[in-house]
Amino acid sequence: MNLVLLGPPGAGKGTQAARLSEAFDLCHLSSGDLLRAERQRGSALGGKVAGTMDTGGLVPDEIIVEVILNRLKEGRDSAGFLLDGFPRTRAQAESLDKAAEAIGRRMDLVVSLEVPDQPIVDRITGRRSCPSCGRIYHVRSLPPVKPGICDDDGSALAHRSDDTEEVVQQRLSAYHEQTEPLKAFYRKQGLLF
């Protein structure tokens, strides 16, 4: 089974992707996590995308397409793929179709997580995560026992630099303008759920 998760920032793509990939033994590819890892490593690619990510825009298609398609090839023997945060534009979706075909796969299902903008701003500005284990908290609705500290491993919780109100508004605009039209693209193919 090859699956795509669509949805605005903070809809829960990462949370659901972790559960689904474990339950169905899928190769989970999160475009945001891959880009953040490049930045953390201090790679040239990380340097190129930093400014765009920090202001909430979409990084150029050719950059993210190359990153994801390389990973698809590496995971060609997996039971299936779960793409989280990719594709986000029509050009990315078309590249994905071609790349999947090249390794004898096709997308089976595209799940769109629907959440209105206002709860998203609240969710994201209060979101904190553990840099070691990835557990997600919220300062009001899901706080850790000790403020700022992960319940599981005692690490100091992090606040993503793009999880501010101003940047979230930009990420929402990017979603509505460039990614939401993919729903029609996949609906036509009978893949949208």
Q: Where does this chain bind ligand ADP (CB under 6 A)?
A: 9-10, 31-32, 35, 52-53, 56-59, 64, 85-86, 88, 92, 162, 171
Catalytic residue, chosen from 39, 48, 105, 160, is 160
Return d(Cα 24, Cα 171) in angstroms, integer.
30
Ranked by CB distance to ligand ADP, the top (closest) residue is 32
Q: Which is nearer to ligand ADP, 52 or 78 (CB)?
A: 52
Q: Which is nearer to ligand ADP, 26 or 171 (CB)?
A: 171
- Residue 135: active-site member: no
Backbone angles phi, psi at 31, to 5 degrees: -65, -40
Please tell me the number of Cα atoms within 13 Å of 124 on its side-chain side.
28
- Residue 88: active-site member: yes
Q: Which is nearer to ligand ADP, 149 or 180 (CB)?
A: 180
- Residue 106: active-site member: no
Backbone angles phi, psi at 55, to 5 degrees: -105, 5
- 3 state SS of 158: strand
The CB-of-109 to ligand ADP minimum distance in angstroms stands at 18
Tokens encoding 42:
């201090």
Please tell me the number of Cα atoms within 13 Å of 156 on its side-chain side.
3
